[in-house]
Amino acid sequence: MHKLAVGVFLACATASAAMAGEGMWTPDNLPLAQLKSKYGFTPTAAWTAHAQRAALRLAGGCSGSFVSPNGLVLTNHHCVNSCVQQLSDADKDFIKSGFLAKEEKDEIKCPEIELNRLDAITDVTARVKGATAGKSGEAFGKADRAIKSEIEKECVAGNSASKRCDVVDLYHGGIYALYEYHRYQDVRLVFAPEFEMAFFGGDPDNFNFPRYDLDMGMLRAWEDGKPARVADFFPFSTDGAAEGEMVVTIGNPGGTDRQLTVAELESARDHDLIPRLLLLAEQRGMIEQFRSESPEHWRIGQHDLFSVENAFKALRGRLLALQDPAVFALKRAQEAELRTFVDADPARKAKYGGAWDAIANAMDAYRTVEARYKYIEARRGFFSEYYGHARTLVRGTVERGKPNAERLREFTDSRLPSVTQRLFSSAPVYPDYEQVTLGWSLRKLREALGTDDAFVRQVLGTDAPEALARRLVAGTRLGDPAVRRALWDGGAEAVAKSDDPFIVLARAVDPAARAIRSRYEDEVEAIVDQNSQLVAAARFEKYGTSTYPDATFTQRFSFGEVRGWDEKGTFVPPFTDIAGTFAHATGAYPFALPATWLAAKERLDLRTRMNLATTNDIIGGNSGSPLVNARGEIVGLVFDGNIHSLGGNYWYDERLNRTVAVHSSAILEALRKVYGADRLVRELESARR
């Protein structure tokens, strides 16, 4: 792995801001000098390797960690929420009641959760760049995808059930690295509190602090029908961290846009965020009203509403950041500095000078394919589980028959286990809800592409969107996992013969979807990738290789400290306590405490710390990350950032950007005194020794 010296290039343009918490560092490139000077902390190779393997990725989009040698996993409630909902039905609603496996045998398998433990990182830059050298456009994209699939296949070596390999693009093409994971697909639900407690304050308090939430969930990795034995795990700290103490997050930030060009940021602001937000807002109104119709609709819509509201608030924060003239001024200044450096030398100018305009042109090209790409290929027009399964069957059975390197990336050997886990999942599909969401998204498809668009006419025929949705949902058998499995096993031939209405629809859509995907990949993605490599190389030339890459949903370490902040003249202290939880309870959703907490009030030590704020640099995907001290003990569980952290997609503002975590003491106090989870408390305590 290419080693990067410590330093922060972003500081070049923001010399006045302190940068203590900034940085999402790869495990093989921690900012050692900075850590030593700031915190007097020098992680050994063993410390880092241990932390790397004790931390986990939830493949669906979260983080977590082992907290016992028996594969017990700590993450957020909102990371296990979909599993909790999938295991519930109208009679037993674990979202409402919470879930506790009294005994090991009561732990229930989550239908769609996959855990990834990062075992190794290898630099494959030379091999990837060698395969694409001299190519551009379509040929570049094709070669790029092929070499990555080839490297991944070699790495998995036929062992895809327990091994996962991803080629990761760091620094926007500056470095390509092969990430090898141990894959766990037998993951069981161990504990979840009531949703009311996990998400106390609800959407109104989301991305805010002070907070009073117990946003925790516990899973267990099983292997060969037994709890997995693991060598690396984080024991719980006895008391948590003190104000000002250094704390580390090890998690998987999903993505940041800190190194994008100004043209890409403008495109994001004007053409990406706004349409997405408008769609989310409408979806939110639709789901909220659907939920109000009956207790069962309330239950069914819970997870989607959470996701939609969470995304809405996060993207709204990003848009506000990009509307801040100061943020754009910073970005323009950074870009101007780099371009001045490039233009100053004729050789450099010849090599890199055209990259920015090429990316800007690709953004223009993007606008011409954007709506079709999003609605047809990226499925904005087909918001339906049935359709998702149908497309996996239609595409997957065909793609499986192709050589690995020629397949669509999501169907390569390395990725198939995740595909089939979802396809064969026992999670219920709700016809009522499907009909509503599909009908709605078909209306949006027509709105986005136009009534007279040939594709829209092909899909809708003379049907109204709602009528088509009703007909498809009434006629499908894809809600039955056995039917899906039979079609998958039957392969392309069986799928081609199926008259299931969703299969028929997915077959009809596929040519147009593949066509617009190719256009997007060739005319936008390949151009951006190729020219981003040039920008990254120019940046390395000027600043040295002294920074961290944009987030890529791969493991990153962030070093910060427990600290409050100044909110327009008022200091926000870094800790809340359990007393505050009770003080904020009104009895009305989302500020209602569950009966368990009300009953336990007398037993609880109300001075126990509940949540805390730190300066760690995180973003969506970090949810469930362990917050550990210098000794590698759990002092908290990351579950949110404050409102200022949303601009963190574009830059890190040390003054205001804060991570929000559940305090380790609150977790132990609740497990002991509210939930009577003695088995788990014993397991956590014995892990400490």
563 vs 247: CA distance, rounded Å: 10
Determine if 270 is a binding residue for a second copy (CB under 8 A). yes
Q: Which is nearer to a second copy, 270 or 510 (CB)?
A: 270
Q: What is the DSSP string of 150-196?
A: HHHHHHHTT-TTTEEEEEEEETTTTEEEEEEEEEE--EEEEEE--HH
Say whether residue 263 binds a second copy (CB under 8 A).
Answer: no
Smaller CB distance to a second copy: residue 133 or 588? 588
323 binds a second copy (CB under 8 A): yes
Q: Work out whether 432 is an interface residue with a second copy (CB under 8 A).
A: no
Q: Show the binding pattern over residues 279-308: x = contacts a second copy (CB under 8 A), - = does not.
A: x-xxxxxxxxxx-xx---------------
Distances (CA, A) of 474 to 431, 432, 488, 505: 8, 10, 22, 14
- Of residues 455-484, those binding a second copy (CB under 8 A): 462-464, 466-467
Is the CB of 272 or the CB of 669 nearer to a second copy? Answer: 272
Site for a second copy in 573-602 (CB under 8 A): 586-591
The count of chain residues that interact with a second copy, using the rule CB under 8 A, is 41
Q: What are phi and psi of 510, to 5 degrees?
A: -55, -45
Our finding on whether 321 is near a second copy (CB under 8 A) is no
Q: How far is the CB of 196 from a second copy (least distance, A)?
A: 12
Closest CA to 684 of 669, 674, 62: 669
Number of H helices, E strands in the chain: 27, 20
Sequence-ordered list of residues with C-beta below 8 angstroms from that of 275, at least 6 positions apart, any chain:
374
Encoded one letter per residue, x for contact with a second copy by CB under 8 A and - for no contact, window 23-62 reads ----------------------------------------
Q: Is-contact 155 165, C-beta < 8 A? A: yes
CB of 280 to a second copy, least distance (A): 8
Residue 191 sits at φ, ψ, to 5 deg, of: -155, 140
What is the x/- site pattern for a second copy, positions 176-215, by CB under 8 A?
A: -------------------------x-xxx----------
Q: Does 274 bind a second copy (CB under 8 A)?
A: yes
Indicate whether 368 belongs to the interface with a second copy (CB under 8 A). Answer: no
Q: Of 130, 137, 450, 573, which one interacts with a second copy (CB under 8 A)?
A: 450
- Give 40's contacts (C-beta < 8 A, 6+ positions apart): none
Q: Smaller CB distance to a second copy: residue 41 or 591?
A: 591
- Measuring CA to CA, which residue among 569, 617, 621 is closest to residue 18? 617
Instruction: For residue 631, give every residue at least 6 positions away whose Cβ sits within 8 Å of its Cβ, in sequence order, or none.
Output: 237
**In angstroms, what is the minimal distance from the CB of 650 to a second copy?**
16
User: CA 110 to CA 277: how far, in whole Å?
Assistant: 31
Stretch that binds a second copy, among 7-15, 269-277, 343-351, 541-549 (CB under 8 A): 269-277
Which residue(s) pair with 167 in the sheet?
A: 178
| Residue 319 in the binding site for a second copy (CB under 8 A) | yes
Task: By CB under 8 A, tell whether 440 contacts a second copy.
Answer: yes
- The CA distance from 220 to 243, in Å, is 32
Least distance CB 502 / a second copy (angstroms): 20
Helix (H) / strand (E) element for 512: namely helix 501-520
Residues with Cβ within 8 Å of 117's Cβ and at least 6 positions away in sequence, in order, are: 53, 56, 57, 181, 182, 184, 230
Cβ proximity to a second copy, 95 vs 315, nearer residue: 315
**Binding to a second copy by residue 316, rule CB under 8 A?**
yes
Question: Does 659 contact a second copy by CB under 8 A?
Answer: no
Best CA proximity match to 63, nearest among 245, 208, 203, 248:
248
Amino acid present at 139 = A
Binding site for a second copy (CB under 8 A): 201, 203-205, 270, 274, 277-279, 281-290, 292-293, 316, 319, 323, 436, 440, 446-447, 450-451, 462-464, 466-467, 586-591
